[in-house]
Amino acid sequence: MIQAGLDYSNNWDAESFYRPVPQVKKVRRTYRKSNPQGKVFVKAAVALFAYALVLVYLCIKGSTLGYQIVELEKDIQQLETANHRLEYSIAEKCSLGYVEIAAQELGMEKAEQGITVAVLPEIEPVIIDENNSGSSSQVGQNPLNKLYNNLLMLAQNNL
C-alpha cells in the first residue's frame, strides 16, 4: 500500500484544527414588490377594451338590422302596389261594360228576372209497410231525399 507510506503529519497543526468556523448568515430572499396601481390600470384597460368591442358589435348589429328593416319596407311597398294593381284589374274585369262586351263576343244572353228552380219529375210515392221498417234503401226512407222533396214542394208553392 502506497498510502501507508505517505506522511501526512506535517499538515496536522493544532491551530488549524481548532480554528472557529465562521458563522454563515442566512440570506433572506427579497421579492420584487409589484406596483398594485399598475395591476389595476392593466385590468381597467382590458375591461375598457372589452366594453369597446361589445359597443362596436352592438352598433354594427343595429345598423344591419336597420338596413334589413328598410329593405323589408321596400318589399312591403312593392307587394302593396302589386296588390292594388290586381284589385284594379279585378274591378275592371267585373265592371258592367266589360261584362257586356264579353257577352257580345261570346254570344251570351241576359238571364231573366224570375227565379228558376230545377225540379225533378214527380216520383210515385212509395208505400212503406210499418212492420218492415228495416229497409233504408227505399227512396222515401233516405233523410236527404225527404229533405230534398220538402224543399222542392216549398219552391213550387212559392212560385
pLDDT digits (tens, 9 = 90+) for 36-57: 788 899 999 999 999 999 999 9
Q: Tell whether 123 is covered by a domain.
A: no
**Residue 55, all three cell numbers:** 359597443
**Element spanning 152, H or E:** helix 143-158
Whether 65 has a pLDDT exceeding 70, the answer reads yes
CA dist., res. 158 & res. 95, Å (int): 33
How buried is 43 (Cβ within 10 angstroms: 0-12 exposed, 13-18 middle, 19+ buried)?
Answer: exposed
Number of domains in the chain: 1
CA dist., res. 116 & res. 104, Å (int): 23
CB 152 within 8 A of CB 119: yes
Handedness of CA 43, 46, 51, 52 (dihedral sign): positive
**Residue 77, all three cell numbers:** 311597398
Rounded to an integer, the average pLDDT of 78-94 is: 93
Q: Tell whether 61 is covered by a domain.
A: yes
CA dist., res. 140 & res. 133, Å (int): 12
Q: Tell whether 42 is covered by a domain.
A: yes
- Give the type of residue at 126: V
Q: Tell whether 20 is covered by a domain.
A: no
The pTM assigned to this predicted structure is 0.39
Candidate from 61-65, 88-92, 153-157 with smallest mean pLDDT: 153-157
Reference 118, options 148, 141, 146; nearest CA is 148
Q: Which domain holds residue 40?
A: 36-98
- pLDDT band, residue 97 (cuts 50/70/90): confident
Q: pLDDT tens-digit profile of 128-141?
A: 555 554 444 454 56
Q: Tell whether 134 is covered by a domain.
A: no
Query: What percentage of the chain carries pLDDT values higher than 70?
Result: 67
Q: Tell whether 65 is covered by a domain.
A: yes
- pLDDT band, residue 3 (cuts 50/70/90): low
pLDDT at 131: 53
Q: Tell whether 43 is covered by a domain.
A: yes
Query: What percentage of the chain carries pLDDT values higher than 90?
Result: 31
Q: Tell whether 120 is covered by a domain.
A: no
Whether 126 has a pLDDT exceeding 70, the answer reads no
Reference 120, options 142, 143, 151; nearest CA is 151
